[in-house]
Structure 1
Amino acid sequence: MEEEEEENQSLLELSIGESSLRRAMELISSLIPLTYSIKVFHVKWQLIRNKLEELISGLTAAENCDSCENSAFSDLIPSLVLTVNHCYDLARQCVDLSYNGKLLMQSNLDVVSAKFELHIKNLGGIYSTRILTHGYPIVVSRPSNGACRDDMKFYVGDLFTRLKIGDLEMKSQALVALSEVVGEDEKYVKIVVENGEIIALLVNFLEFSEMEIQEESTKIISIIAGFDLYRGVLVGAGIIAPLIRVLESGSDLGKERAARTLQKLTKNSDNAWSVSAHGGVTALLKICTNGNGKGESITPVCGILRNLSGVEEIKRFMVEEGAISVFIKLMRSKDEALQISAIEFLQIMASGDESIRKMVIREGGIYSLVCVLDPSSSFSSKAREIALRAIESLCFSSTSSLKILMGYGFLNRLLFFLCNDEVSVQELAVKVTYNLCVTSEETKKAMGDAGFMPELVKLLDVKSFGIREMAAEALSDLVLVPRNRRRFAQEVYNVERILKLLDPDERKSGNKKVLLSILMSLSSCNSGRRKIQRSAYLKSLEKLAEAEVMDAKRIVRKLSSNRFRSILNGIWNS
Structure 2
Amino acid sequence: MARTEKEVLEQTLKLLNSAISSSHSTRLFPAKWKPIRDKLERLRSNLAPASFDADSRGNPSLAELLEAISATAHCTKLLAQLCGDDSYGGGKLLMKSNLDLIAASLELHIKHLDEKYDLGILISSLSIVLSKPAVGASREDMRIYVRDIFSRLRIGCFEMKARALASLNQVLHEDERYVRAVAAETTDGIGVLVKLLDCREVMVKEEALRAVSVIAGFESYRGMLVMSGVIPPLIRILEQGNGKAKERAAHALKLMTQSCDNAWLVSSQGGVLTLLRICGDDGSSSKLANLACSILRNLCGVGEIRRFMVEQGAVVVFLKLLRSKEEASKLHAMELLLMFASDDEEIKKSLTRDEFIDSLLGIINHESLYSSKAREIALRCIEAFFFTSPASLNQLVKRGFLHQILFFLRNGEVADQELALKSVSRFCSVSDQLMAQTMGDMGFMPELLRLLQARPFDAREAAAEALCSLVLVQKNRRKFIEEDHNVDNVLQLLDPREGKGTKKLLLSALMSLTDSSSGRKKVSASIYLKNLEKLAEAEVAEAKKILKKISNNRFRSIFEALRGM
TM-score when normalising by structure 2: 0.82
Task: Letter of the 1:169 partner, please give it.
Answer: E
2:469 aligned to 452, 459, 477, which one?
477
Distance 1:471-1:303 versus aligned 2 partners, 3 A rule: same
Q: Structure 1, residues 95-133: CA drift from partner, whole Å, max 9, x if none?
A: 578999776998699579847964773475246528747
Tell me the residue number matched to 1:53: 41
- Partner Cα distance (1:508, 1:28) in 2: 78
Task: Letter of the 1:517 partner, please give it.
Answer: S
Tell me the residue number matched to 1:558: 549
1:357 aligned to 343, 348, 353, which one?
348
* Contact 2:72/2:106 (<8 A) preserved: no
Question: How far 1:346 sits from its partner (Å)?
Answer: 0.5
Do structure 1's residue 278 and structure 2's residue 269 form an aligned pair?
yes
Task: Letter of the 1:461 partner, please give it.
Answer: Q
- Partner Cα distance (1:44, 1:557) in 2: 85
Tell me the residue number matched to 1:12: none
Do structure 1's residue 496 and structure 2's residue 484 form an aligned pair?
no
1:464 aligned to 448, 456, 464, which one?
456
Tell me the residue number matched to 2:527: 536
- Partner Cα distance (1:358, 1:118) in 2: 63
Task: Letter of the 1:360 partner, please give it.
Answer: L
Which structure 2 residues correspond to residues 217-228 of structure 1 after superposition, within 5 A?
A: 217-226=208-217
Question: How far 1:287 sits from its partner (Å)?
Answer: 0.7
- Partner Cα distance (1:399, 1:161) in 2: 70
1:36 aligned to 24, 36, 54, which one?
24
Which structure 2 residues correspond to residues 244-323 of structure 1 after superposition, within 5 A?
A: 244-269=235-260, 271-292=262-283, 294-323=285-314
* Contact 2:46/2:151 (<8 A) preserved: yes
* Contact 2:76/2:102 (<8 A) preserved: no
Tell me the residue number matched to 1:161: 151
Task: Letter of the 1:566 partner, please give it.
Answer: S
Greater CA drift, 394-403 or 369-378? 394-403
- Partner Cα distance (1:541, 1:100) in 2: 91
Question: How far 1:469 sits from its partner (Å)?
Answer: 2.4
Task: Letter of the 2:515 partner, please give it.
Answer: S
Question: How far 1:341 sits from its partner (Å)?
Answer: 0.9
Q: Structure 1, residues 135-188: CA drift from partner, whole Å, max 9, x if none?
A: 74336756976855x776665554443333222222223434555666614633
Do structure 1's residue 453 and structure 2's residue 463 form an aligned pair?
no
Tell me the residue number matched to 1:9: none
Task: Letter of the 2:153 partner, please give it.
Answer: L
Aligned partner of residue 207 in structure 1, secondary structure: coil
1:216 aligned to 167, 184, 207, which one?
207
Task: Letter of the 2:26 partner, please give it.
Answer: I
Distance 1:141-1:92 versus aligned 2 partners, 3 A rule: farther
Task: Letter of the 1:471 partner, please give it.
Answer: A
Aligned partner of residue 492 in structure 1, secondary structure: coil
Unaligned 5+ segments in structure 2 are none
* Contact 2:206/2:245 (<8 A) preserved: yes
Question: How far 1:36 sits from its partner (Å)?
Answer: 1.8
Which structure 2 residues correspond to residues 62-101 of structure 1 after superposition, within 5 A?
A: 62=50, 72=57, 86=74, 90=78
Number of residues paired by the alignment?
552
Aligned partner of residue 485 in structure 2, secondary structure: helix
Q: Structure 1, residues 418-463: CA drift from partner, whole Å, max 9, x if none?
A: 3466544433332222211110223322322222211111122225
Aligned partner of residue 346 in structure 2, secondary structure: helix
Greater CA drift, 204-213 or 320-329? 204-213
- Partner Cα distance (2:537, 2:495) in 1: 13
Greater CA drift, 477-486 or 54-63? 54-63
Question: How far 1:478 sits from its partner (Å)?
Answer: 1.4
Tell me the residue number matched to 1:338: 329
Tell me the residue number matched to 2:372: 381
* Contact 2:42/2:110 (<8 A) preserved: no
- Partner Cα distance (1:120, 1:466) in 2: 65
Tell me the residue number matched to 2:428: 437
2:161 aligned to 160, 164, 171, which one?
171
Question: How far 1:80 sits from its partner (Å)?
Answer: 9.4
* Contact 1:293/1:334 (<8 A) preserved: no
1:414 aligned to 385, 405, 414, which one?
405
* Contact 2:364/2:375 (<8 A) preserved: yes
Question: How far 1:376 sits from its partner (Å)?
Answer: 1.6
Aligned partner of residue 351 in structure 2, secondary structure: helix
* Contact 1:175/1:217 (<8 A) preserved: yes
Do structure 1's residue 207 and structure 2's residue 195 form an aligned pair?
no
Tell me the residue number matched to 1:188: 181
Task: Letter of the 1:253 partner, please give it.
Answer: K
* Contact 2:257/2:263 (<8 A) preserved: yes
* Contact 2:272/2:296 (<8 A) preserved: yes
Distance 1:468-1:106 versus aligned 2 partners, 3 A rule: closer
- Partner Cα distance (2:58, 2:87) in 1: 35
Task: Letter of the 1:166 partner, please give it.
Answer: G
Question: How far 1:261 sits from its partner (Å)?
Answer: 3.3
- Partner Cα distance (2:554, 2:95) in 1: 112
* Contact 1:499/1:541 (<8 A) preserved: yes
- Partner Cα distance (1:25, 1:36) in 2: 17
Tell me the residue number matched to 2:383: 392
Task: Letter of the 2:458 partner, please give it.
Answer: G
Aligned partner of residue 248 in structure 1, secondary structure: helix
Greater CA drift, 323-332 or 161-170? 161-170
- Partner Cα distance (2:223, 2:309) in 1: 25
Question: How far 1:347 sits from its partner (Å)?
Answer: 0.7
Aligned partner of residue 335 in structure 2, secondary structure: helix
Aligned partner of residue 367 in structure 2, secondary structure: coil
Distance 1:328-1:461 versus aligned 2 partners, 3 A rule: same
Give the root-mean-square deviation of aligned CA atoms. 4.1
